[in-house]
Amino acid sequence: MRRTCGTLLIAASVAVAAGRVGTAQEPASATAITEEDEAFVKEAATGGLAEVKLGQLAVEKASDAQVKAFAQRMIDDHGRGHAELTRIAAARHIELSSDLDTKQQALADRLANLSGSTFDRAYVDAMLDDHEEDVEHFKHKIVAARDAAVKAWAARTLPTLETHLRLARELHDRLGSSVSENKDR
């Protein structure tokens, strides 16, 4: 019995050190995270961060009360999602960027130079485009992800993204597009 307890203690210590034992909120993954899942985590984290930062900009600059309310929802929802994804990434030793990527920063810079209804329409157009892409990407990851926690997070997040997409479409239809002549909608 003494040897068995010692062996179990050693095995448990090795499992903890290897990161194979999850917390109550973070179940252990049976396999190491794939490159595709890691790339998704990094991309989703950067995207969530962008939604928060662009939302903050819109809360300050938007002239339309509904756009401001939508922006605050982006801050709140994507902030919560980003916090949860950060925990998943930390458990898998994935380092996340705290900066926007080049495309996201260019959008933030462009929006920062707009005002009034022009800002409102451009922000809503960007949110519409982004959430259309996100919904499709998340649907794919729910099926394709190998890591159970990543798959579960994507599945929990998808309904929120679908709601954001619906709200962005409604705002877009109400405000009109700032680039309608350049896009085939």
Say if residue 23 is in the same domain as residue 56: no
Task: Tell me the per-residue pLDDT of 119-148, one tens digit each, with 9 for 90 and over.
Answer: 999 999 999 999 999 999 999 999 999 999
Say if residue 14 is in the same domain as residue 76: no
Residue 70, in any domain of the structure: yes
Residue 182, in any domain of the structure: no
Distance (Å, whole) CA 103 – CA 107: 6
Say if residue 67 is in the same domain as residue 149: yes
Q: 167: Cβ–Cβ under 8 A, 6 or more apart, which residues?
A: 70, 73
* pLDDT of amino acid 32: 79
Residue 58, in any domain of the structure: yes
* pLDDT of amino acid 178: 52
Residue 146, in any domain of the structure: yes
Say if residue 81 is in the same domain as residue 141: yes
Say if residue 108 is in the same domain as residue 58: yes
* pLDDT of amino acid 176: 78
Q: 25: Cβ–Cβ under 8 A, 6 or more apart, which residues?
A: 87
Say if residue 19 is in the same domain as residue 71: no
* pLDDT of amino acid 162: 98
* H or E, element range at 26: none
Q: Which sign, positive or negative, has the C-alpha torsion 39, 44, 47, 53?
A: negative
Q: What is the CATH number of the domain that holds 92?
A: 1.20.1260.10
The whole-number mean pLDDT for each consecutive block of 10 residues of the chain, a chain of 185 residues, reads 38 37 42 90 96 97 97 97 96 95 96 96 97 97 96 97 97 75 38
| pTM exceeds 0.85 | no
Say if residue 117 is in the same domain as residue 148: yes
Distance (Å, whole) CA 92 – CA 32: 8
Q: Which domain holds residue 14?
A: 1-30
Q: Are 51 and 130 in contact (CB under 8 A)?
A: yes
Nearest CA to 97 out of 47, 161, 133, 35 is that of: 47
Residue 184, in any domain of the structure: no
Say if residue 44 is in the same domain as residue 133: yes
Residue 183, in any domain of the structure: no
How many domains does one find in the chain?
Answer: 2
